[in-house]
Structure 1
Amino acid sequence: MIEIHVIDAFADKPFRGNPAAVCLLERYPSDQWLQQVAMEMNLSETAFLSPQQDGSYRLRWFTPTVEVDLCGHATLASAHYLWETGRVDRKQALAFHTLSGWLTASAGEDGWIRLDFPVERVTETDAPARLSDALGGAVPRFVGTNRLDLLVEVDSEEAVRGLKPNFAIMAELGVRGVLVTARSQDERYDFASRCFFPTEGIDEDPVTGSAHCALAPYWRDKLGKDRLTAIQSSARTGILKLALVDDRLHIHGQAVTVLKGSLLHLPTE
C-alpha cells in the first residue's frame, strides 16, 4: 500500500483553503499511473514526492487532466506532510526539485510555512478577443500576461466576487489561467483575487500560490509595498502573506491534514 494524505493548504482549519493530495513514492512509476491517481483524487492538484540521496525531494504536480509546471498550494501541503509525519524535522528546511527549478520551504515557530518561489512578472498587453465575454461581461481596467497566465484587474473587490465566468470561452484564450484581481475593500488585506484554469481541468482554483508570483509584484508596483496580505475570494477562501525579495517571492501559509489513507492498487512496473 502507498500512503496518501489530503491536506487543506492556505487554511488554519479544515474545509477551507485549497485541498491537495500528497503521495510519497520511493521512485516514480509511469506518468500514466500518476495521472490516473490524480484523476481518481479529483482535486485541483495531487503532489507526488520522491526522496533524493542529498536529502532533497523531487516534486511533481498533476491536476485531474495534466501535469503542471508550478503549484503553490500543493508544495505547501507537501512540506506540511513531510514535517507532520516526522520524515523531516521541522527545524530543517526542505528543498524540492521541480519543473520550475529549485523551490524551498521552511517552518516558522508560529505554525506558518514559508515557500520561496520565483517572481513571474506580467507585462501589459491588449485584451484578447472575447475576454469580457469570458469574464461574464466584466470590463478589465488592466490586462497583463507572463509565461503562464493572464492577469486582469477589475474595478472593485465586489466585481471580483461577483464574477460569473464563461469557462468555454475562457478555455480558448490560449493561457494557463486567468487571474482576476482588485484592491481589497477590507483593511486586513491589500488585494483580492479569483483564479480560473479551465484548460487544466480546474474551472476555479480555491487558493493558488503560483498565481501570486504574478499578483504580488503587480500590487507591489501599484501600492509601493514589499509585504502584502492577500485574500483569494473563492467559496473556500484562503489567506496568503507575501514578501518580495529581489526576484523571489516568499509565500506564507498554513495547512491542515483532513484525511489519511492508502492506495490499494499499486503501479505494476
Structure 2
Amino acid sequence: MQLTIHQIDAFTNELFKGNYAAVIPLKSWLSDDLMLKIGAENNVSETAFTCQQDDGSFVIRWFSPLMEIDFCGHATLAAAYVLCEEHNISQIRFIADAVGELNVNKNADGSFAMTFPKQAPVEVQNVPQQLLDGLSIQPSKVLKNRQAYFAIYENADQILELKTSSELLKMLYPLDVVATAPSAEYDFISRYFWPASGGDEDYVTGSIHTGLAPYWALQLGKTTLSAYQASSRGGQLTCEVGDTTVTLTGHAVRYLEGTIYI
C-alpha cells in the first residue's frame, strides 16, 4: 500500500515557521493502530487523516506521536491547504467526532478562515498544586476549559521568561496548560505546554485560541484580535469571536509531498 503524505507549515507564510503538520488524504479509513503508528513515525505534532464523504464533506482525525487528539486547529489548516489545492475548491466542511462541523474558507489572499465552536474558559477556584509548582512564575489567575488550564499573566515578558516542569504538568492529564498575557505588539500572546499528550511545548496551537480569543475579547472589549504564539518557531493568528463560534485566520506553506510505503 502507498499513501501520499504532505507536510505543511501552518499559521505562517514563511517556511520553517509556524507549526508543522502532516496530512494524509485517504480513500478509506485505515485501522486506528496503523494511523497511530504513522503518527508516531512522522513525529510531528499532529498528523491529520481525511476521508471524503458522499455529501462532499471530509471527516478529519488527528494523531500526535502519542495518541489520537480530539481537536487540532493547525492540522485542520494544513489539511485545508492540501484539499483546496487537490480538489481546486475554496470551501471545505470538515466533520470531527468531538467538535462537530468545522468550516474552512480560503480567502483571496491565500489565507484560510476556520470557524470553530467557541470554548471559553471559566475561572478555577481550587488550582491544582502541580500546576502552580510546574510554572516558574505564578499566574495572576487560572481558568480552564475542556482542553487546558489557562494561566493568566500581567505582561508579555512573563510569558517569554516562563519555564515549566514537564513532569509536574504531565500530572494534569488530560488537561494541558496555556500561559497567556496581553501584548504591546499583538492583542495577546501565549505559549502552550502539553507534555502528557504530545510534547513539552507546542509551536502554534489553533484549538486553544477558541478559548483564548473569547477570554481576551471580554478583557479588551473587542471581537477581532491579533494573536501570537511565542514558541521557538512562532505563529500569528487573527481571531474573530462570535456568539457561539471563533473564526481563526492564518496562512500556510508547503514543505514536502512524498509517499509512504506500507
TM-score, length-normalised on structure 1? 0.94
Asked if 1:260 corresponds to 2:261, the answer is: no
Q: Which residue of the partner structure matches residue 233 of structure 2? A: 236
Asked if 1:22 corresponds to 2:23, the answer is: yes
Q: Which residue of the partner structure matches residue 11 of structure 1? A: 12
Q: Give a deviation string over 1:32-69, Cα, whole Å, max 9, x none.
A: 00000000000110000001111001100000011111
How far is the alpha carbon of 1:29 from its aligned partner? 1.3
Q: Which residue of the partner structure matches residue 96 of structure 1? A: 94
How far is the alpha carbon of 1:130 from its aligned partner? 3.0
Alignment of 1:110-125 (within 5 A): 110-125=109-124
What is the identity, as a one-letter code, of the residue corresponding to 2:52? Answer: P
Quote the Cα distance in structure 2 between the aligned partners of 1:185 and 1:116.
26
How far is the alpha carbon of 1:132 from its aligned partner? 2.5
How far is the alpha carbon of 1:163 from its aligned partner? 1.4
1:150/1:175 contact within 8 Å kept: no
**1:147 is paired with a residue of what secondary structure?**
coil
Asked if 1:35 corresponds to 2:33, the answer is: no
Which of the residues 199, 206, 229 maps onto 2:203?
A: 206
Asked if 1:63 corresponds to 2:60, the answer is: no
Q: Which residue of the partner structure matches residue 178 of structure 2? A: 179
Q: Which residue of the partner structure matches residue 245 of structure 1? A: 242
Quote the Cα distance in structure 2 between the aligned partners of 1:61 and 1:130.
28
Query: How many percent identity over aligned positions?
Result: 39
Q: Which residue of the partner structure matches residue 127 of structure 1? A: 127
**2:133 is paired with a residue of what secondary structure?**
helix
Q: Which moved more, 1:246-255 or 1:195-204?
A: 195-204
Q: Give a deviation string over 1:203-247, Cα, whole Å, max 9, x none.
A: 111000000011000001100000000000000000000101111
Quote the Cα distance in structure 1 between the aligned partners of 2:47 and 2:238.
23
Q: Which residue of the partner structure matches residue 194 of structure 2? A: 197
2:150/2:179 contact within 8 Å kept: yes
**1:14 is paired with a residue of what secondary structure?**
coil
- Structure 2: gaps (5+ residues): none
What is the identity, as a one-letter code, of the residue corresponding to 1:121? Answer: A
Q: Give a deviation string over 1:121-141, Cα, whole Å, max 9, x none.
A: 111113211323211x21110
2:60/2:94 contact within 8 Å kept: yes
Quote the Cα distance in structure 2 between the aligned partners of 1:96 and 1:130.
36
Quote the Cα distance in structure 2 between the aligned partners of 1:183 and 1:120.
19
2:84/2:92 contact within 8 Å kept: no
Quote the Cα distance in structure 2 between the aligned partners of 1:31 and 1:8.
25
What is the identity, as a one-letter code, of the residue corresponding to 1:61? Answer: W
Quote the Cα distance in structure 2 between the aligned partners of 1:102 and 1:225.
26
1:179/1:194 contact within 8 Å kept: yes
Asked if 1:151 corresponds to 2:150, the answer is: yes
- The CA RMSD over aligned residues, in Å, is 1.0
**1:171 is paired with a residue of what secondary structure?**
helix
How far is the alpha carbon of 1:177 from its aligned partner? 1.2
1:21/1:45 contact within 8 Å kept: yes
Q: Which residue of the partner structure matches residue 85 of structure 2? A: 84
How far is the alpha carbon of 1:103 from its aligned partner? 0.5
Q: Which residue of the partner structure matches residue 160 of structure 1? A: 159
- Structure 1: gaps (5+ residues): none
Q: Give a deviation string over 1:151-170, Cα, whole Å, max 9, x none.
A: 11112211101111100000
